[in-house]
Amino acid sequence: MNGKTGGMVAAGCGLLLLMSSLATMLLFFYLGFIESRNVSEEESLPGIGGGCCCSIVSLAIVGVGIFFAVRKTSAGPPTM
């Protein structure tokens, strides 16, 4: 990983993962609770739980990425 941009890349990838996991949670919530003709609540709960677990991991990736991005920029110029 590049030392200058690695934190920003990790934060960006984590945000993409977070958006996709939130979209998955919303889709299963919609299918199970709002339009419940084809999918019952019991069938949609694993999808909601999986999206929640992925959201927690994605938030951790975003946090670590932001930490490394801020730490690299506030360290100042490199010394030889």
Does any domain span residue 47? yes
- Cβ neighbours of 27 (radius 10 Å): 14
Does any domain span residue 1? no
Listed ranges 2-6, 7-11, 29-33, 59-63; the one with the highest mean pLDDT: 59-63
Does any domain span residue 79? no
State the average pLDDT over residues 11-17.
Answer: 95
State the DSSP string of 27-42: HHHIIIIIS-SSS-HH
> Taking the complete model, does pTM exceed 0.85, yes or no?
no
Does any domain span residue 40? yes
pLDDT for the residue numbered 37: 81
How many separate domains does the chain show?
1
Does any domain span residue 53? yes
As given in the structure block, the two tokens for residue 78 are 């490199």
pLDDT for the residue numbered 67: 92
Query: Domain range for residue 48?
Result: 6-74
Per-residue pLDDT tens digits for 19-78: 999 999 999 999 998 887 888 888 899 999 999 999 999 999 999 999 988 886 555 565
Looking at residue 33, what DSSP letter applies? I
Does any domain span residue 31? yes
Does any domain span residue 80? no
Q: What is the C-alpha to C-alpha distance for residues 51 and 54, in angstroms, rounded to an integer? A: 5
Does any domain span residue 15? yes
